[in-house]
Amino acid sequence: MIPDVQYAMQQSQQNLADAVLQVSTSLRVNKLSDDPSASANMVTSLASSATVDQYTKNVSSVLPRMQTADSAISSIVTSLNSAITLGTSGASSTMLTANRQAIATQVSSVLTSVISEANTSYQGVYVFGGTASTTPPFVAASTTYTSSQGSTANPLASSTTLTAGSVTTISDATTGKSMTFKAATGDTIATLQAAITSAASAGTLSAGTTATINASGKLSIGTNSTAAGIAVSSNEAALGSMTAVANTQVANAYAYVGNSSVNDVQVGDSLTVASNITGSQLLTSGTNVIGALTGLITALQSGTSADIGTSISDVSSALTAVGQQRIPFDNGISQLDSQETFLSSETVTLSTAQTALVGVNLADAATNLSNAELANSAVLAAAAKVLPETLLKYLQ
């Protein structure tokens, strides 16, 4: 009998220990063997929770940056409307030249404001630079850039070999487009020169843009026009850095030196949003907004009423284009707002499912504990009653 009693006591004490553990942890499954299937499902559910948590953080991270960009676009729209108003007032045929000059100066200030908005940054990231987001995407354009490498004693030559994989980029303020030259094995400066000439013919760069070896032995890239400005960058070791020649800056001309890459951020299992809109997409490609403003300034400075009228039309078209480009971006912001609500709900759903998988209702757990305590007491009482009972007790 004693082994039976011992076994019964061990079992009841184990049940009591299990009940205490459930109450203290609020978990029905404290180790894998308690419920292998639930444990395995919990692995998947916890992974889903972690993913949803991260989507929520992604929304919180991206949304303010997009809202900052949207605010900047709003300011640009306001500025363009202001430029149209100014231009319209300056188009009058009775307007004096001096007054037109004054209006041109005001439109120039509007352009400066637009550039400032286009160079908006958020936490160190330039929001309109594409993925080249560590430097301002819009820079003042100059007619001529020269290389740091090359000298009279050691001039560069057309036959100078370029490093395979090096990239030289020319951004044109007038056309609003960029030419990117990536050197292949065996390419020389002559290859780059030919590419630039070809880009000019195609309209990517202003007509007449060339690359030559100047008297100082340096590579000079220029528009050969006082009205057309460019910005040049290169990581080619043979050229060194490309720098604008002093006093060649073109007034009211700005080139886009960012890129056209868009970063997508995943905020749902099947939902990614474009987290940025590039300066080229917004302000230079398709409709050249910067160029339109520059053109209006030029027309006000030296043009006729007809010229001003044409420039105003260009600015109006630019305003329309900006509005259209803004729509998908604003839709992205709206999607993020909606997604935030959905993810919050999803978090609750997953948490509820996890509780159902491995959790225990505290009221049930407390009842189980109470029952286990009663059962244990009953076993101990029964043992105390039964064990001392032998015949010897009755033989006096």
Partner 1 sequence: MSLNTSLNTAVQSLNAASGALQITNNNIANANTAGYTRKVAVLQEGASTSDGNISQGGGVVLEGYQSVRNELLQTQIQQETQAQSGANAQLSSLQAIEPTFTTSTTDIGTDMSALFSSISSLSTNSSSSTSQQAVLTAGQNLATAFNTASSTLTTQQASLNTQVTQDVSSINQLTKQIAALNPQLTQLKATGQDGGTVQDQMDQLVLKLSALTSVSVTQTDNGETITTGKGTPLVMGSQSFALQTANGSEGMQHVLDQNGSDITSSLTSGDLGGTIQTRDTTIPGILTQLDTLANQFATAINAAQAKGYDQNGDAGQNLFTVSSTVSGSASSIKMTVTDPALIASSSDGTSGSNGNLINLTAVQTTKLASGKTPGDAYASLVYQVGSQTSSVKAESTATTASLLQLNDQFSSVSGVSIDEESANLISYQQSYEAAARVVSTIQSLFSITMSMGTAAAA
Contacts to partner 1 by CB under 8 A: 3-4, 7, 27, 30-37, 39-44, 46-47, 50-51, 53-55, 57-58, 61-62, 123, 125, 129-134, 259, 261, 263-266, 272, 275, 358, 390-392, 395
Amino acid at the residue 27: L
Question: Which residue intervals of 91-241 are DSSP H helices?
Answer: 97-118, 189-202
Minimum CB–partner distance for residue 49 and partner 1 (Å): 8
Q: Can you say whether the dihedral through the CA atoms of 219, 224, 226, 231 is positive or negative?
A: negative
Structure tokens at 186: 């065996």
Phi first, then psi, for residue 106 (nearest 5°) are -65, -40
Maximum pairwise Cα distance, the chain: 140
Q: Cβ closer to partner 1: 217 or 268?
A: 268
Question: How far from each other are the two terminal CA atoms of the chain, in whole angstroms?
Answer: 24
Minimum CB–partner distance for residue 58 and partner 1 (Å): 5
Q: Cβ closer to partner 1: 226 or 349?
A: 349
Minimum CB–partner distance for residue 354 and partner 1 (Å): 10
Minimum CB–partner distance for residue 286 and partner 1 (Å): 21
Q: What is the dihedral of CA 384, 387, 389, 390, to 10 degrees?
A: -160
Q: Cβ closer to partner 1: 98 or 391?
A: 391
Minimum CB–partner distance for residue 81 and partner 1 (Å): 31
Minimum CB–partner distance for residue 164 and partner 1 (Å): 13
> Measured between alpha carbons, how far is 179 from 199 in angstroms, rounded to an integer?
7
Q: Cβ closer to partner 1: 241 or 317?
A: 241
Q: Cβ closer to partner 1: 3 or 186?
A: 3
DSSP H or E segment with residue 234: strand 230-234
Of the candidates 231, 183, 235, the one whose C-alpha atom is nearest the C-alpha of residue 205 is 231
Q: What is the DSSP string of 282-348?
A: IIISSS-HHHHHHHHHHHHHH--HHHHHHHHHHHHHHHHHHHHHHHHHHHHHHHHHHHHHHHHHHHH
Q: Cβ closer to partner 1: 50 or 207?
A: 50
User: If you search the block for the tokens 């905020």, which residue do you land on?
Assistant: 267
Minimum CB–partner distance for residue 315 and partner 1 (Å): 31
Q: Cβ closer to partner 1: 153 or 392?
A: 392
